Structures are given as C-alpha cells and as structure tokens.
Structure 1
Amino acid sequence: MSARYRILQPGDLDGLLNPSQAFGLEVLHGLSEHPKRLSSKFFYDDEGSRIFQQIMGLEEYYPTRCEYEILENNRGDIGEHLRGEAFNLVELGAGDGLKTNLLISRFLEKGMQFAYVPIDISAGAMNDLSESLIKKFPNLTMAGIVAEYFEALKWLSSITDKPSLILFLGSNLGNFSSSQARTFLRSLWNTLKEGDLVLIGFDLKKNIDVMLEAYNDRKGVTAAFNLNLLRRINRELGGNFSLDTFRFFATYNVFSGAIESYLVSKEEQDVYIEAVGQSFHFKAWEPIHTEYSYKYLISDIERLAAKTGFIIEKQYFDQKGYFVDSLWRVRKTG
C-alpha cells in the first residue's frame, strides 16, 4: 500500500532549515535564557504524538470530548459554508483523525469534491493517519504533507488554486501568547486567498479546578508527555538529561489566563548536550518552562479575528460551554 503523503525536503522550498539543526538551535537558545524554556512545538516527535493521543482519551481532558460533540452536531452546517465548490480540507496537525473523520464522512456522504491535506511534523503520525483513513475511506483523495505548517502551506499554494477550509482543531492556538497568536494568524492569512475558511478551536475560560485537572491527570500522562521532550533531546541531540531528576508542574496564572507547564530540576546539576557543544547548569528546583495553554473569552476571539483579517462566520459550542470551534472567513478586500 503506497503512502498518501509527502515529506517536504529542503529542495522543495528555499531557505528550509534542516530539522535537527532547527531543533538544536532552539534548544541552545532556550536553555541559555533566564528563565530557561523549551518550545512546546518540539513535543511532537513520534513518541510525543503517541502520548498525546493518550492524553486526549483521559477522563480529565475535556477539550477532545467537547470538540467531538461540537463537530458531530454541526458538521452539516459547517459544510454549508463551503458554497458547493471543490476545495482542499487542510488540517494543521494530523493527530489520529478521530474528530476530522466526522467532517470527512459527512462531506463524502454529500458528494462534495475535496482533497484532504493533513500537515504534521511527525512522519510516524502521518503514516498512522494515512493507513487508518485508507481503510476507513477508500475513495478519499488524500495528500498529506510532513513539514512545518507554513512551509507546507506555502508549497501547497504553489501547486493549487482551489479554495481551502483550514482546520486548526484542539486548543493548539492556545499555546501562543496573544501577540504570538496574532502573528501566527496573520501569517496564516498571508498564505490564504479571499474567501478561504478557517475552523479554529478555542478552550474557553471556566472553573479553574476543571482546567487544572486537565493538565494534572492522575495517571501522569501529561507529565510523561513533557518529560519525553528531554528524552528527545537525549536521543536526537546527544543530551544527558536524567529524567528522574526532573518533575512536571502545571499551574493556572489568573492574570494571563493561561495554564503554565514546567519541568523542574529536583537537584543542582549540569546537563551536557553534544550537538550544541554546551553544558547547562541547573540550580535545585530551577524550572524549564515548556508550554502555555491560554484560555479565551468570546470577546477575546472576536478581537483576534478582527485584528488579523478574518470575519467570524459562526461560533459552535458544546453543551457545557467549555469549548468553541469558531469558523472564520478570510477578508482581503473592503
């Protein structure tokens, strides 16, 4: 069975950094800062993607269930906004396809003409998704891309002029600060055409205990997800992190409206990373910041769309009001 995805190579786009070089540079810069930090975008190697699938099935992790409910109840209405044209269904982050399957199934049932284009940095996640979808939807046109989001979108725009529905599901946008979110969405806007649609998931502000439990699960899966980033540095960059000497910690910042995640050194130690040729000193109980998960008010979402060149077409909520999938249309004139 042939793979239905493409791994972008440096020759596909000018100026594309070798992935391991980019990883090493960001680790070097992040661990040299005060306080130390590592980017959450590097969570998703093959093992990290596998662990995240476990997180999405946890009892405490409500976003997946809420968004599944939203898509199950509103997939027909979402399709009505596509105006009957042939289009690309582009998903930023492949995942396991569980939620996207709801849309694909409805679109195929309605005889809509589209190609499914998942984009993910993990070849393993893309391969798993490809095999799953081939079995479930043998008539589906799929053209996945293994690359960073904007590298893939730039390449895609160079080979097709079809309109797009971009899926940025889960609460991935919440990993960005407000300024980073604006930059990301403006960059996304720049790759899209007038009238293209974007469906974005937002985790809404709610009872603080509910939010904290989602990131401090009893089984420790979220902790393993974070610690896997140190394991990845050891494997790919020749680091000598001892995972037993770090612990995971997550808290909610009421001022910024974000869950903040950290890996905390339990003792004073030095860690050497061969690929960057440098040692990094940790004091006892010194943290590495790994992730922000910002939560939103509806007014925040409305301002964000207006500032980045989009019009909100419709907002889709779960019954508890924990989560919203917001459908935006690109506006480039007027």
Structure 2
Amino acid sequence: MTVKHLKILHQHNSSINQTFEKDGDDVIQGLTKSQKSLPPKYFYDDRGSELFEKICDLPEYYPTRTEAWILNEYADEIAAITGSCELVELGSGSSTKTHYLLSAYQKAANSLTEAVPDAFSYIPIDVSGGILKTTVLHLQEKYPDLCLEGLLGTYEEALLYLGKNHGRSRMIFFLGSSIGNFTESESNDFLSKVSHALTKGDYFLLGIDLQKPKEVLEAAYNDSQEVTAAFNLNMLAHLNWRFQGNFDLDLFRHQAIYNEIDHQIEMYLHARSPHQVSLDILDLKIQFQAGESILTEISRKFGLEAVQAQLQSQGLETVKIWTDPQKMFGLVLCQV
C-alpha cells in the first residue's frame, strides 16, 4: 500500500487534528451522564467493520440489499444526471454497493469524446484502516483506470481536508442511511460540513431508511443469529483496547427497540449485574447498577418531505428521489 493510495488524516494533518476534541473526551462525557451513551464511531474498529459486513447479509436486515437494488436499477441514471465527476464516499466500508456507481461512472468516462484528466476518480473515506486498505487494493485491481485515493479518518476530518479545493465537479455520497445515527441537530451540522466541501453545481447523494412498521424494524436490529448483538458488544472490546479498559462483555446484553414517537431505533447495552469498569488511559472509573444501560446508537427513520426540507435548509436542493417498489428505502440526489 502506497501513500498515493491511502492518506491517514489524523496522523499526517496536525492542523486538522487540532480542531477536534482530545481522543476519548466523548467517552468520558457519554459514560458520566445519567443516561450513559457512547458515540457510534466506536463500533468501527477492524472487528466491528467485519461484523457490520456480516449484518448487511442477514435475512432480517433489509437496508443493504434494498439500497443495493436501487443503486443497481438507477446508477446509470445518476451518472447521466451528474456527468463525469469526482466521487467521494463517506463511510465507505467495503464499498460493496459502490460498485454499481463505479461501473456506471466508468461507462460515462469511457464515453467521453474528449479526454478529461481523472475523469474516473473515487475517494473512499473510513475510520477502519484494515477494511480501507483491503478495499483500495481490491478496487485498484477491479478498476485499473480508476484514479483512487483512500482517506483514513472521521467524516469531520475528511470533509475539512477536502474543503472546496477541487478543480472539477464533485459528488459526495453517504449511503446506508448512516445519517440516521445523528440527532437532528447533529445531522444539520453534518450537512453543513458536506455543503462546505461542495461548490455550486456539485452533488450530494444520500441514502435514507424510510419509516415502516415496528416489527420489521426491531427484527432487523435483533437478528436471530445475534450478529448485531456481537457488533454492539464489540464496542466495549474496542474501548478496552483503545483506552486500556476492563469491560467484561459477559456482564452486558444487547437490546434494540423502536421508539415510535421519535421514529428511531435505539440500541442499548444493559448491565446484567452491579460492577465497576475502569478505562485507565482516560483515568475514568464507571459504576454500573443491574439493568443500567448504555445507549450506543440511534437509527432514525425518515419521511421524504422532511428530508427534502432539511437538505434545502443547508443549501442542497433535491434533484431526484429513487425508492424501491415497497418504499422501504430511498436515495436522494441533491445539488448545491
């Protein structure tokens, strides 16, 4: 793996790093609240990324295959609307669904009558170095003409790094309804950063999970094989490794419930018995009572009209929306 293909933002860009809080401050803040919580970014060490890829293949977990169907059906149309542009993916993971877009944009680049520098280019961004390296190598082999640079870092680091410094049109995309992991205020802040990394005429493609019956949603996050439970519990293993902790995973159990008032899945880890946990690097000790919970993730479910209004408030005008026939999932293409 060469620097040409992979840039580590949080190590090589100190000016960016200085704008963010000290590593672990969010853990301290979350675990010392009355309702303990942890940011979803701690799901994604290498093991967590592997488990999430397994979740995506589960029979109960409809979002990945449904979004993949939409992309397979409409990728050529998306490429035709935007034209040849620099593709930037936030939270790329294994880039499995992205192949539909890459193939469509490769065809678009090959059809150009005049040569355009880097007409077929892709920037995957992820916080998991292991999966990002594997993805970059695989994509370079599958698409030898692809101009490719992986960015290892958070969304915030990547969007700040990218900024508006691009000489050609750009499309940022955020698939998997990952925006549902943000509160409304957090998603407004995120969309503002996305908008800042785009110039007039650039595009943003957003995947959103649409509102649906409670029983469908809860089954998707409490799968019969308990892969989601392992994914949730792995967050504690990640904290143990990262901050010299002593979480005992056997002392917690996974649960996901659908909050019908706020239209969101809420994922918890419940303490099975009273105990104390230490995170030595953070100089933090946490007491747990039996039944006390840690909120590890929310996953908001959306209505199309509300999403369009929120995007518009951040200067992103909806161009077109695609859904599956059952209207379980949506892709929204918007433009600055």
Q: TM-score range by the shorter chain?
A: over 0.9
Q: Which has the larger displacement, 214-223 or 189-198?
A: 189-198
The RMSD of aligned alpha carbons is 1.7
TM-aligned CA deviation for residue 114 of structure 1: 2.7
1:8 paired residue number: 9
CA contact (8 A) 2:45 2:128 kept: yes
Which one of 99, 105, 108 corresponds to residue 107 of structure 1?
105
Using the alignment, how far apart are the partners of 1:152 and 1:233 within structure 2? 23
CA contact (8 A) 1:10 1:18 kept: no
Using the alignment, how far apart are the partners of 2:98 and 2:161 within structure 1? 22
In structure 2, the CA distance between the partners of 1:144 and 1:63, relative to structure 1 (3 Å rule), is same
TM-aligned CA deviation for residue 12 of structure 1: 2.1
| 1:247 matched to 2:247 | no
TM-score (norm 1): 0.94
CA contact (8 A) 2:271 2:293 kept: yes
2:33 paired residue number: 33
SS of the equivalent of 1:192 reads coil
- Alignment map for 1:193-272 (pairs within 5 Å): 193-272=199-278
CA contact (8 A) 2:16 2:160 kept: no
TM-aligned CA deviation for residue 312 of structure 1: 0.2
TM-score (norm 2): 0.93
Which one of 165, 168, 177 corresponds to residue 171 of structure 2?
165
Which one of 306, 310, 328 corresponds to residue 312 of structure 2?
306
- Alignment map for 1:1-334 (pairs within 5 Å): 2=2, 4-17=5-18, 22-82=22-82, 84-85=83-84, 87-111=85-109, 113-157=119-163, 159-330=165-336
CA contact (8 A) 1:10 1:17 kept: no
Using the alignment, how far apart are the partners of 2:215 and 2:13 within structure 1? 46
Q: Which has the larger displacement, 193-202 or 2-11?
A: 2-11
In structure 2, the CA distance between the partners of 1:15 and 1:327, relative to structure 1 (3 Å rule), is closer
The runs of 4+ residues in structure 1 deviating greater than 4 Å are none
* Structure 2 residue identity aligned to 1:14: S
Q: Which has the larger displacement, 3-12 or 207-216?
A: 3-12
CA contact (8 A) 2:123 2:149 kept: yes
CA contact (8 A) 1:208 1:252 kept: yes
TM-aligned CA deviation for residue 329 of structure 1: 0.5
SS of the equivalent of 2:58 reads coil
Using the alignment, how far apart are the partners of 1:42 and 1:150 within structure 2? 15
Deviations, residues 269-307 of structure 1 (Å, cap 9, x unaligned):
111110111210001100001000000111211221121
Using the alignment, how far apart are the partners of 2:197 and 2:68 within structure 1? 28
Matched residue pairs, number?
327
CA contact (8 A) 2:9 2:158 kept: yes
CA contact (8 A) 1:13 1:155 kept: no
SS of the equivalent of 1:236 reads helix
Using the alignment, how far apart are the partners of 1:198 and 1:159 within structure 2? 16
Determine what percentage of the aligned residue pairs are the same residue: 37
* Structure 1 residue identity aligned to 2:106: L
In structure 2, the CA distance between the partners of 1:9 and 1:263, relative to structure 1 (3 Å rule), is closer
* Structure 1 residue identity aligned to 2:258: Y
SS of the equivalent of 2:17 reads coil
Using the alignment, how far apart are the partners of 1:74 and 1:158 within structure 2? 28
CA contact (8 A) 1:94 1:125 kept: no
Using the alignment, how far apart are the partners of 1:70 and 1:193 within structure 2? 27
TM-aligned CA deviation for residue 62 of structure 1: 0.2
SS of the equivalent of 2:246 reads coil
CA contact (8 A) 1:249 1:262 kept: yes
Deviations, residues 105-158 of structure 1 (Å, cap 9, x unaligned):
121123251310011111111111112112211221111111112322222236
Using the alignment, how far apart are the partners of 1:305 and 1:138 within structure 2? 35
